[in-house]
Amino acid sequence: LREARVDLVCLAGFMRLITSTMLDAFPMRIMNIHPSLLPAFPGLNV
């Protein structure tokens, strides 16, 4: 992603935890859409 000079990472339906390595590489530039009805289904480990 760095080689492609990505400015913003958008995730939709990504059902994994985002690693600290990824978060550190793109601080404040990751958007994740939660594929569930909130607050009834908040997700894993909430």
Instruction: Confirm whether 44 is domain-assigned.
Output: no
Decide if 25 is inside a domain.
Answer: yes
CA distance linking residue 17 with residue 5, whole number of Å = 23
Domain-embedded: residue 26: yes
Catalytic, out of 18, 22, 23, 34: 34
Does residue 41 sit within a domain?
no
Q: Is residue 42 part of a domain?
A: no
Q: Annotated catalytic, 34?
A: yes
Classify residue 4: in a domain, yes or no.
yes
Beta-carbon count within 10 A of 8 CB: 9
Residue-range definition of the domain harbouring residue 15: 1-35
Task: Per-residue pLDDT tens, the chain, 46 aa: give them.
Answer: 989 999 999 999 888 889 999 999 999 999 988 777 878 887 777 7
Per the domain annotation, does 43 fall within a domain?
Answer: no
**pTM for this predicted structure:** 0.66
Q: How far apart are the C-alpha atoms of 35 and 22, rounded to whole Å?
A: 20
Looking at the structure of the chain, the number of domains it has is 1
